[in-house]
Structure 1
């Protein structure tokens, strides 16, 4: 009821020009994540939930086209964006793999007057694009501080990067390092790169722990990293010896917390990101101004609350 009231208020406040733009034809938004991944499936679920509610409230159908690169590859993502722009959708909803690498393709969308919204990311500097997501620095800081507390403020730790060029992944890593730097007894001894692949993260984590037998704990910068780390910890028989604080709310991450392999997870809310990205895209499609940033918040998941 509250959400329906909110959307009714948004409709009532819509400028006349925006209402005139509503011809009754379906609105079509193309949702392009970083790669095929369970986390983005949750985003897609939230996006469809918002589209369904808006359609019920307005009587105007909203189509969500989900087009995910098979791997986290910038050129593949740019190709998908270019092909989407060529179809002149009512909006693009993007999670950027590389702010600089995606810039030229995003500019093509601007030139073709295709509105854009980004989620789980930050827009290129100077582009008038609404960003939807959690505070990435806060998320990384929460994870690092929880790990520091778990290991008593001393010991060797490692960071698992996702895609190093991704704005959200690199910002989390930067803020994790800043948080660890406040503890003179903590040393970051290794940084893995998993490119948003659980299998790669598992292999990287196993290699790091073999090279650093005194490793005390792990944090990650993406949703795949902590799952792979947890698998490596379990397989090496180091559950309880190497501590982990993960990110996000994949089912595998929740199971690792439940099993005691991971302590907790600083989780963004992917369903909510997809939901509000569609709301912002809908407002843009109707010619309305949208916020610069929509913060969807962070959940700290532990064995007590999962």
Structure 2
């Protein structure tokens, strides 16, 4: 949280250039997430709130167009990015599906002198782009350590990988595996790939639990995965037998925690990510320097915190 507050001070107190201070025309940004998904709806809510605040504070019309791919598909996302570039917005706000697969399209934006900010992601190596989000390794580490404690540091566990090419999902997975490797009596027996789909996660989790009847627990690498896992645990009659520590704060995730199906969740604050991604994009469009990273922090959500 301290990092986020420092970033806020840096962004909002930065002196504007003479041109930026006198411009009064409208500004338009395009926000492109990984897919249609309730997590990104929350991020979009934060983005729209930031646009409304900036419009009121500056007297300029600041808008954010939200363009989400129907599914987590790199070629579809690149097509949306290319079409957005063709409209020459004041900035692009992106959540990458594939660092390598998105790079060429992002380079097109650079050539067109369109500023970019990434959220819930990491920028391609070597590209000078502000990244807004949580410490994804810390988030995965917190979830894996909580699960290890829940199962007494022993037993079979599984990981739902999300979209394996997505930089944030891949980083969480690596850090979760690193945690489990510290415990000689914990064995990772299976991984699933849900591609940010709750339905896919539910099907894969059910199949994995059938194949591994002694499975002790689950962690995930995306927001859809833990919801699908929780549904599978409930439907399989394994509530209390198979432990889960989830990610993020989708409404379905919170209900699974309230119901005792899922122990807890490490949330990366999607509304705050959307909000600060717009603030950073606005500053960059005005020609200001922006931080390399804006850390929006992590919340640990439990039944106890939900009851407050």
TM-score tier after normalising by the smaller chain length:
over 0.9
SS for the counterpart of 1:14 is coil
Q: What does residue 153 of structure 2 align with? A: 153
Query: Structure 2 vs 1, CA of residues 9 and 201 (structure 1 numbering), >3 Å: closer, same or farther?
Result: closer
Query: Structure 2 vs 1, CA of residues 9 and 199 (structure 1 numbering), >3 Å: closer, same or farther?
Result: closer
Gap runs ≥5 in structure 1: 1-5
CA distance in 2, matches of 1:8, 1:122: 22
Quote the offset at 1:86 in angstroms: 0.5
Asked whether 1:29 is paired with 2:43, we answer no
Query: Structure 2 vs 1, CA of residues 186 and 9 (structure 1 numbering), >3 Å: closer, same or farther?
Result: closer
Give the RMSD, CA atoms, in angstroms. Answer: 1.4
| 1:17 and 1:287 in contact (8 A); partners too | no
Q: CA offsets, 1:20-71, max 9 Å, x none?
A: 5x52111100000000000000000000111111111110110110000000
Asked whether 1:210 is paired with 2:202, we answer no
Quote the offset at 1:15 in angstroms: 3.3
Q: What does residue 4 of structure 2 align with? A: none
Quote the offset at 1:16 in angstroms: 2.6
Correspondence list, 1:242-261, <5 A: 242-261=242-261
| 2:14 and 2:288 in contact (8 A); partners too | no
Q: What does residue 101 of structure 2 align with? A: 101
SS for the counterpart of 2:39 is helix
Quote the offset at 1:241 in angstroms: 0.1
Quote the offset at 1:19 in angstroms: 2.3
Q: What does residue 16 of structure 2 align with? A: 15
| 2:11 and 2:290 in contact (8 A); partners too | no
Q: What does residue 228 of structure 2 align with? A: 228
CA distance in 2, matches of 1:250, 1:17: 43
CA distance in 2, matches of 1:42, 1:19: 30
SS for the counterpart of 2:240 is coil
SS for the counterpart of 2:304 is coil
Correspondence list, 1:86-97, <5 A: 86-97=86-97
| 1:7 and 1:54 in contact (8 A); partners too | no
Q: How many residues align?
A: 300
Quote the offset at 1:79 in angstroms: 0.1
TM-score between the two structures when normalised by the length of structure 2: 0.95
| 2:263 and 2:302 in contact (8 A); partners too | yes
Query: Structure 2 vs 1, CA of residues 12 and 158 (structure 1 numbering), >3 Å: closer, same or farther?
Result: closer
SS for the counterpart of 2:92 is strand
Quote the offset at 1:17 in angstroms: 3.9
| 2:117 and 2:277 in contact (8 A); partners too | yes
Q: CA offsets, 1:277-302, max 9 Å, x none?
A: 00000000100000000000000000
| 2:257 and 2:264 in contact (8 A); partners too | yes
